[in-house]
Amino acid sequence: DTAVSQTPKYLVTQMGNDKSIKCEQNLGHDTMYWYKQDSKKFLKIMFSYNNKELIINETVPNRFSPKSPDKAHLNLHINSLELGDSAVYFCASSRGQGPDTQYFGPGTRLTVL
Amino acid sequence: AQKVTQAQTEISVVEKEDVTLDCVYETRDTTYYLFWYKQPPSGELVFLIRRNSFDEQNEISGRYSWNFQKSTSSFNFTITASQVVDSAVYFCALSEATGGGNKLTFGTGTQLKVEL
């Protein structure tokens, strides 16, 4: 069974569109994250949720809105997509909001044309 | 602010060679955690090791070993007798225990290429 899963794996869309990426974890973890990996492979945290509560919001444009319907899911909705949003987006989860190991999903490659 | 530096952008070795990937970190916290992740060509991020700042013992796991030295703020990773399957980007990361919300700060990664 996949521990952290993301859908879709690939997403190609036009500028200006709105899109969502879904993430689910079956590890029973309380904390989930979104990271962005740019074209140079640099990884940076975007958001963190603990038990559906926003913990970290790292200077991300408000076009990005995370939503956590329950502690096993953390979705990322992006409005008015821009060329610079093209990247690989990784979801991760950890047991708690302390410095526990984060386990990553397979990533979603978003391409904005 | 916390920072992780991986000065080696790319390393190429021949199979069976040993290779060390360097990681230097900066933090003001006395309690922190260090991690290594592997990103193979398939793209996923694979957890390798987690080490807290109070445990300076070196660790060995098969062909992998890690050398943590607080005096030089380094957490280096050595692969012994490298294999082609070790080809990947390796990331070192840091998490502070206080106020960080478990935010992982990653280095820029080291691309390791192991050739026959």
The pLDDT tens digits of the residues spanning A65-96 come to 999 999 999 999 999 999 999 999 999 999 98
Q: What pLDDT shows up at residue B102?
A: 80
Label residue B105 exposed, middle or buried (CB < 10 Å: 0-12, 13-18, 19+).
buried
- A76 vs A7, A30, A32, B18, CA distance in Å? 11, 17, 12, 41
Task: Report the distance separating Cα A101 and Cα B56, nearest Å.
Answer: 18
Q: Do A48 and B106 touch (CB under 8 A)?
A: no
The answer on pLDDT for A41 being more than 90 is yes
Q: Identify all chain B residues contacting A107, using CB atoms and an 8 Å cutoff.
A: 43-45
What stretch of H or E contains B13?
A: strand B10-14
Q: Which of B35, B97, B108 sits opposite A42 (nearest CB)?
A: B108
Task: Report the distance separating Cα A13 and Cα A68, nearest Å.
Answer: 24
The answer on pLDDT for A13 being more than 80 is yes
Average pLDDT over residues A44-70: 89
- A19 vs A7, A13, B20, B42, CA distance in Å? 12, 8, 41, 24
Structure tokens at A7: 């859908």
B99 backbone dihedrals φ, ψ, rounded to 5°: 70, 0
Preferred mutation among A32, A37, A43 to probe B, highest tally of B CBs within 10 A: A43
3-class secondary-structure state, position B84:
helix
B31 backbone dihedrals φ, ψ, rounded to 5°: -115, 120
Mean pLDDT, 10 residues at a time, chain B of 116 residues: 94 98 95 96 95 89 95 96 97 82 91 97
Confidence of residue A55 (pLDDT cuts 50, 70, 90): confident
The answer on pLDDT for A1 being more than 70 is no
Task: Report the distance separating Cα A74 and Cα A71, nearest Å.
Answer: 7
Name the closest residue on chain A to residue B98, using Cα atoms. Answer: A98
Q: Do A42 and B95 touch (CB under 8 A)?
A: no
What stretch of H or E contains B52?
A: strand B46-52
Q: What pLDDT shows up at residue A17?
A: 97
Q: Identify all chain A residues contacting B8, using CB atoms and an 8 Å cutoff.
A: none
The percent of residues in chain A predicted with pLDDT above 70, rounded, is: 98
3-class secondary-structure state, position A93:
strand
Q: What pLDDT shows up at residue B21?
A: 98
Q: What pLDDT shows up at residue A60?
A: 86
Q: How many CB atoms lie within 10 A of CB A35?
A: 25
B107 backbone dihedrals φ, ψ, rounded to 5°: -75, 180
B71 backbone dihedrals φ, ψ, rounded to 5°: -65, -30
Structure tokens at A88: 């690989």
Confidence of residue A53 (pLDDT cuts 50, 70, 90): confident
The shortest C-alpha distance from B36 to chain A (Å) reads 10
